[in-house]
Amino acid sequence: GENVEQHPSTLSVQEGDSAVIKCTYSDSASNYFPWYKQELGKGPQLIIDIRSNVGEKKDQRIAVTLNKTAKHFSLHITETQPEDSAVYFCAAPGGGADGLTFGKGTHLIIQP
């Protein structure tokens, strides 16, 4: 089955700086890669996703890049703000009935 590795587990950046979170996956047939943001005590919220037929996708301050050859994808957040503080999860297709296999999460801390 799919295996998703996510790094780092904790990331602290100064407000206004950029943050990058990286994930690798094992199944070369995987073709869909979402990112979720989870605030304390809440369910994960889908913030951006990418399909394997594109290399990059942007939505305002967030972007995701995909390298199919190397089987890794990354989340980029520019001009970080305090409200970006949360746990971020990457995922790839895995599990039964088109479920997702998740990375272990990155706790992003934005320092004022």
Partner 1 sequence: SQTIHQWPATLVQPVGSPLSLECTVEGTSNPNLYWYRQAAGRGLQLLFYSVGIGQISSEVPQNLSASRPQDRQFILSSKKLLLSDSGFYLCACRGGNNEKLFFGSGTQLSVL
Each residue 2-41 as x (binds partner 1 by CB under 8 A) or -, in order, gives: ------------------------------x-x-x----x
Please tell me the distance from the alpha carbon of residue 83 to that of residue 110, in angstroms, as a whole number: 8
Applying CB under 8 A, among 23, 105, 108, 110 the residue interacting with partner 1 is 105
Among 29, 42, 69, 70, binds partner 1 (CB under 8 A): 42
Question: Which part of the chain contacts partner 1 (CB under 8 A), choosing from 22-30, 60-68, 71-79, 94-102?
Answer: 94-102
Total residues binding partner 1 (CB under 8 A):
23
Q: How far is CA 38 from the centre of its chain?
A: 11
Question: 22-55 burial, b if ≥16 CB within 10 A, otherwise e?
Answer: bbbbeeeebeebbbbbeeeeeebeebbebeeeee
Tokens of 29: 């047939």
Interacting residues toward partner 1 by CB under 8 A? 32, 34, 36, 41-46, 49, 89, 91, 95-105
